Structure 1
Amino acid sequence: MKTLVVGGAGYIGSHMTRLLLDQGHEVRVLDDLSTGHRGAIPAELLIEGSLLDPAALDQALETSQADVVIHFAAKSIIPESLSNPQLYYQTNLSGTMQVLEAMRRHRCSRLIFSSTAAVYGTPEVVPIDESAPTRPISPYGRTKLFMEQMIADYAAAYGLRTTSLRYFNAAGAHASGLIGEAHEPETHLIPNILRSMAQGDFTLQLFGTEHPTADGTCVRDYIHVQDLVSAHLRAAEHLANLPAGHSDVFNLGLGHGYSVLEVLEAAQAVVGREIPRQIRPARAGDPPTLIANPGRANQILGWHCVHSDLDTILRSAWRWHQGPGFTST
């Protein structure tokens, strides 16, 4: 395949880029490096530019001659979306429309979209399957749901073939230890735990201990980033055999959840020491439990998790945190 990875210098996008290269596909990356890292991908693949810029998208699609666009670029921090929704509606919704319009101009018909379990809000039933009600409780989740709907409408009207992949909690790092999760600010549990252990002078903030879960902390379904990107490759290959106008949605997760305290205890076992912690109030927009039912992806895409046990996730991430890392410039 000839592939354009939008947001391909970010955490998940850089792992996607590495997998595509390893599988022998042609790849170009469009990224504005606002949250991505130049050092995470080979320099010759990068086209620096924003998905809000039609000229940058045109350049990326002309250069890549893409058969498939894999779209990761979005704002994704729930608390920030509550305090600054304008940024999320502009970047996520307007940016996705620009991607779709550029695909139309360049007659590129396949799109894989990076969505989220946040579209479900607080679920009534867990594990969650794709038929569950979509009731997002944050502007971030709402923008992702609207993006899914926009993509499906474009597929039906303009003959695209699209798949939206609803992630649960991406975690872990590449087996090489050369790329991993590096956000600033970092809001995800596992990298915050491991960063604090690597730095040795950090108190971990735990948000909420009175949720309706076994130990009072949030429960999440963690999926190794290498399993996650393998699902994108399966989805892209699957779309090649489907008719114009087709759109679909799949959950991506392990199907089993771990609480915040369970993750913390497992991380302390991997690293071999305890970490200071401070209990804080629960954050707005955090459902108590999110666990995927990945059955449709298993059956239709032939995709299964092979790296997503918690120990493997933590050991791969710890290897990354102990390495040299990279900077965004």
Structure 2
Amino acid sequence: MADCRLLLVGGSGYFGARLAEALAGECDVAVTVRSDTPARSAWLADRGIASFRYDSSTDAALPGGDFEAIVNLAMPGAQAAGKDADAAMAQGRSTAAACLAALRGGRAARLIHFSTFHVYGGQAAETYVEDMPKAPGHPYGRTHLAIEGELTASDVADRIAILRPTNMVGAPAHRDLGEQAGLIFLDLCRQVAETGAMALRNDGQSYRDILPFDDAIAAVRLLLRAEAGWNDIFNLGAGQAITMQALAEGIAAAAPQPVAITYGDGTDAFRRPFAVDVSRLGALGWAPVAGIADEARRTIAAFAA
């Protein structure tokens, strides 16, 4: 990756900022931004990361010239898709179209596209594998699945890798987290930093597959470097789900002081243990090794600062 040039579309968000920081030490990284905020502007300036304005609703082409690879992180989030499904679909499609045009025009050799585990829908399964039937019920999952279909059906599909992350968690690079600010991991770490205690709205017995940012970053590095087998659809997760109680207890164990945990009576989907098959990505040499405690420690410190 020495002397390479990368464009992270949407690369100033919650995960994108951490990814940009990690890759900036290895190559020339640029990110696209749709609107400036003080937190993101300061983050970009402090790290010397180049940024280009890009709004898929008005801009037909990606900015910034030519790149060795493009990483697309700019798909609509769950809240946006739930609020306006048609607008979310239009945003996703226009961003994907700009990425495809860049590949076709020779502006980049490969595209790494971030989709979501939610393309599988709320169906209960013991193990989630990439080729299983999918039936997303929420507009968020339906939007991502539709975009996946357009990418895999394109004439440049052999130059595209699609990642389906589960629940990626990590310390924020800056304070402007957008709709991700309400994610349970961030909420619990914030509670610890501000009150020294945690209160969950649910009963703690729902399951999630929790993947620390460092493992997700390692997967992107691998796909950028791989010479064969990288152009496929990959699950990206820890492999085995844990309860929200286990997550809360892991965060509490990382806190600098004892933390009391209380639970509510709320329930949600995924009430049984499940596994996410990550063997396809594992065949390329990837394996999740990062610990939730390390990210929790950094995140609590970030909110306490």
Note whether the superposition's TM-score is higher than 0.5.
yes
The aligned amino acid for 2:31 is V
Q: CA deviation at 1:267?
A: 2.2
178-187 or 94-103: bigger deviation: 178-187
Structure 2 Cα separation of the partners of residues 87 and 204 of structure 1: 34
Structure 1 counterpart of 2:151: 151
Structure 1 counterpart of 2:191: 196
Q: CA deviation at 1:262?
A: 1.8
Q: 1:37 is paired with a residue of what secondary structure?
A: helix
User: Cα 1:19–1:40, aligned 2, differ >3 Å: closer, same or farther?
Assistant: same
Q: CA deviation at 1:266?
A: 2.5
Query: Aligned match of 2:285 in 288, 299, 302?
Result: 302
Q: 1:54 is paired with a residue of what secondary structure?
A: coil
Structure 2 Cα separation of the partners of residues 68 and 287 of structure 1: 35
* Pair 1:261 & 2:245 matched: yes
Per-residue CA deviations over 1:49-78 (Å, capped at 9, x if unaligned) read 223443661x32x1xx2011000012212x
User: Cα 1:49–1:94, aligned 2, differ >3 Å: closer, same or farther?
Assistant: closer
Structure 2 Cα separation of the partners of residues 202 and 276 of structure 1: 8
Structure 2 counterpart of 1:212: none
The aligned amino acid for 2:51 is L
Query: Aligned match of 2:212 in 218, 221, 224?
Result: 224
Gaps of 5+ in 1: 210-214, 324-329
Q: CA RMSD in A?
A: 2.9
CA contact (8 A) 1:163 1:248 kept: yes
* Aligned 1:85-124 pairs, distance under 5 A: 85-124=85-124
Per-residue CA deviations over 1:82-120 (Å, capped at 9, x if unaligned) read 332123112222222232224323442310001111011
CA contact (8 A) 2:188 2:198 kept: no
CA contact (8 A) 1:197 1:275 kept: no
The aligned amino acid for 1:134 is K
Structure 1 counterpart of 2:165: 167
Per-residue CA deviations over 1:17-59 (Å, capped at 9, x if unaligned) read 1221222x121111214799333443451112223443661x3
Q: CA deviation at 1:317?
A: 2.2
CA contact (8 A) 1:15 1:179 kept: no
Structure 2 Cα separation of the partners of residues 193 and 260 of structure 1: 11
User: Cα 1:170–1:314, aligned 2, differ >3 Å: closer, same or farther?
Assistant: same
TM-score of the pair, normalised by structure 1: 0.79
The aligned amino acid for 2:30 is R
Structure 1 counterpart of 2:294: 312
TM-score of the pair, normalised by structure 2: 0.85
CA contact (8 A) 2:24 2:49 kept: no
Structure 2 counterpart of 1:29: 31
CA contact (8 A) 2:31 2:50 kept: yes
Gaps of 5+ in 2: none
The aligned amino acid for 2:297 is R
The aligned amino acid for 1:69 is I
CA contact (8 A) 1:92 1:143 kept: yes
Structure 2 counterpart of 1:3: 6
Structure 1 Cα separation of the partners of residues 288 and 147 of structure 2: 26
Q: CA deviation at 1:321?
A: 2.3
CA contact (8 A) 1:257 1:291 kept: yes
Structure 2 counterpart of 1:326: none
Structure 1 Cα separation of the partners of residues 163 and 200 of structure 2: 30
User: Cα 1:320–1:45, aligned 2, differ >3 Å: closer, same or farther?
Assistant: same
User: Cα 1:230–1:185, aligned 2, differ >3 Å: closer, same or farther?
Assistant: closer
Q: CA deviation at 1:179?
A: 5.2
CA contact (8 A) 1:109 1:160 kept: no
CA contact (8 A) 2:31 2:49 kept: no
CA contact (8 A) 1:173 1:224 kept: no
Q: 1:305 is paired with a residue of what secondary structure?
A: coil
CA contact (8 A) 1:164 1:248 kept: yes
Per-residue CA deviations over 1:125-177 (Å, capped at 9, x if unaligned) read 323221222221211111111111111112xx246501001101101227xxx
